[in-house]
């Protein structure tokens, strides 16, 4: 027969367990409500006047940025300390950065420099045609991603893979994206480019259901309502972002970035339109 003291101990145990479960669950899904920007959108300006361009980004209300073009220990021509100093002064955080597979042979320095500026994610952004010739190529890439992910993990950084549309084109009856997602789920996660996924005929929610909690970063990029299905400002096209943002928890989304590969006019005008729509219509969904 259970004594009163034993019963109280059991209740205390289960109560503590419930709290721990809640804490554990809440730590899994904490999406940033800061609107991020993949700086590739402003690549022309970043190549000429990076500091002034970053200030414009901050003035528009973007709180986070995703880097591109890192090389030789420099971010947009600046060493990590100088670059981070400018970001801090502007109230920006470079939480993520894009890299090519060719950077992996010198990965340790890239990881060290990413950690120095406070990056939490390093993302393989694109595969060159000669890197993705067949399924064996993707298997080799998957193995390299696991190794690169180990180095990232040691520095407190999460490695991710960013898709285009070719990862959803079958090779011998298999989707390369699925093969890449056969990597270690803790070492390699996904940054889903919503535009490219939709253009490839994929429904983001289907991918979130297939890989729950693993799609931690999003590229928020819209598609125009034309036969060309070209890039357009967020909220101006056909992608149902409101429905997608409602499924952020299933995705495990932690940060999202506006990106527009090509703009009809000055890119600064396009990202101004996009953030206005996002703040007014999508960020509230995350509340």
Q: Domains of the chain by range and CATH?
A: 30-286 (3.20.20.150)
Q: Report the DSSP pairing between strands 188-193 and 215-220.
A: parallel
Note the pLDDT tens digit of each residue in 61-113.
999 999 999 999 999 999 999 999 999 999 999 999 999 999 999 999 999 99
Note the pLDDT tens digit of each residue in 202-249.
999 999 999 999 999 999 999 999 999 999 999 999 999 999 999 999
Note the pLDDT tens digit of each residue in 142-171.
999 999 999 999 999 999 999 999 999 999
Q: What was the pLDDT predicted at 19? A: 39
Q: What was the pLDDT predicted at 29? A: 65
DSSP for 195-224, please give it: HHHHHTT--HHHHHHHSTTTEEEEEE-EE-
Rounded to two decimals, the pTM is 0.90
H or E stretch covering 106: none
d(CA 151, CA 156): 9
Contact 198, 157 (CB under 8 A): no
């Amino acid at each position: 027969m259970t004594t009163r003291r034993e019963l109280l101990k059991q209740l205390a145990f289960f109560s503590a367990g419930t709290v721990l479960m809640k804490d554990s669950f809440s730590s899994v899904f904490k999406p940033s409500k800061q609107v991020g920007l993949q700086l590739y959108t402003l690549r022309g300006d970043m190549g000429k006047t990076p500091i002034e361009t970053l200030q414009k980004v901050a003035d528009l209300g973007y709180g986070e940025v995703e880097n591109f073009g890192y090389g030789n220990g420099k971010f947009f021509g600046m060493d990590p300390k100088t670059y981070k100093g400018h970001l801090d002064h502007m109230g920006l955080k470079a939480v993520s950065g894009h890299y090519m597979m060719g950077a992996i042979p010198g990965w340790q320095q890239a990881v060290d420099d990413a950690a120095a500026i406070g990056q939490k994610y390093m993302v393989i952004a694109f595969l060159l045609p000669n890197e993705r010739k067949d399924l064996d190529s993707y298997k080799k890439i998957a193995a390299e991603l696991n190794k690169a992910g180990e180095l990232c993990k040691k520095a407190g950084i999460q490695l991710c893979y960013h898709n285009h549309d070719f990862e959803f084109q079958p090779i011998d009856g298999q989707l390369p994206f699925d093969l890449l997602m056969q990597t270690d789920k803790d070492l390699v996660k996904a940054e889903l480019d919503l535009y490219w996924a939709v253009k490839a005929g994929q429904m983001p929610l289907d991918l979130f259901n297939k890989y729950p909690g693993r799609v931690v970063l999003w590229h928020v990029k819209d598609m125009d309502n034309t036969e060309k299905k070209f890039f357009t400002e967020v909220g101006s096209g056909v992608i149902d972002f409101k429905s997608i943002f409602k499924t952020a928890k299933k995705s495990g989304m932690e940060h999202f970035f506006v990106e527009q590969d090509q703009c009809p006019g000055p890119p600064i005008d396009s990202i101004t339109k996009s953030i206005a729509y996002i703040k007014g219509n999508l960020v509230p969904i995350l509340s």
